Amino acid sequence: MMATKPKLHYPNGRGRMESVRWVLAAAGVEFDEDFLETKEQLQKLQDGNHLLFQQVPMVEIDGMKLVQTRSILHYIADKHHLFGKDLKERTLIDMYVEGTLDLLELIIMHPFLKPDDQQKEVVNMAQKAIIRYFPVFEKVLRGHGQRFLVGNQLSLADIILLQTILALEEKIPNILSAFPHLQEFTVKISNIPTIKKFLEPGSKRKPPPDDIYVRTVYNIFMP
């Protein structure tokens, strides 16, 4: 019998679930989505004890109901050999991912800021990326001269970094101008067949958040 496809429970937009979509897609795993559109749908999941901490993202996979974005990412990455080959590599990947997710969180929260604050926050995000985060990865890639961040093979760290770079480039197109190794990295990782497919129209990759998505999220999650 065919294994059931993972099912993702989240509103129809990027948010914290988009990283999960990226990793599943990179691993070549097909998945279904059950989009939350109302407070009632969330309440039903909560009342049915489907959400460990009453929160989404929630992913049904391998007979489990996983919550907490990082735990979900770790499970998928480990299962599909995207988490290094030993404890040291895994820890390095995890550190890179944690740092990148801190930057990604700024992008995720951006559409929910007041319009005046949004422009200021773009400047703040660009500065953080250019001063704190990108130099780290530029140096790593320059240092070992390999295509991937860790262990010379695709890992969760590469996938989340690419997701974050592309999301930033939507707002600040020339953000990588001072980082030639990251420019090359972006092109190479984008051309891995499973990722290339995810970046093409018609995939389950979500568009940048718009007003409809922002309103939906407010309606579901705000008291």
For position 143, which CATH number holds? 1.20.1050.10
Number of domains in the chain: 2
Q: Taking the CA of residue 37 as centre, how many other CA atoms within 13 Å lie in the half-sphere pointing to its CB?
A: 4
Please tell me the predicted confidence (pLDDT) of residue 160.
98
What DSSP string describes 2-64?
Answer: PPPPPEEEE-SS-GGGHHHHHHHHHTT---EEEE--SHHHHHHHHHTT--TTS-S-EEEETTE
Stated pTM of the model: 0.95
- Shared domain for 162 and 184, answered yes or no, is yes
- Shared domain for 110 and 183, answered yes or no, is yes
pLDDT (tens digit, 9 = 90+) per residue, 8-34? 999 999 999 999 999 999 999 999 999
**What CA–CA distance (Å, rounded) separates 50 from 64?**
10
Range of the domain at 138: 85-191
Please tell me the predicted confidence (pLDDT) of residue 8.
97
Q: Among residues of the chain, what percentage have pLDDT more than 70?
A: 97
- Shared domain for 176 and 117, answered yes or no, is yes
Query: Residue 133 above 60 pLDDT?
Result: yes
- Shared domain for 40 and 135, answered yes or no, is no
Mean pLDDT of 114-133: 94
Query: Residue 180 above 80 pLDDT?
Result: yes
Please tell me the predicted confidence (pLDDT) of residue 51.
67
In a domain, 218, yes or no: no
Q: Give the tokens for residue 155.
A: 């890992």
- Shared domain for 152 and 93, answered yes or no, is yes
Mean pLDDT of 49-75: 88
Please tell me the predicted confidence (pLDDT) of residue 206.
98
Q: How far is CA 107 from the centre of its chain?
A: 11
- Shared domain for 159 and 97, answered yes or no, is yes
- Shared domain for 186 and 97, answered yes or no, is yes
- Shared domain for 125 and 203, answered yes or no, is no
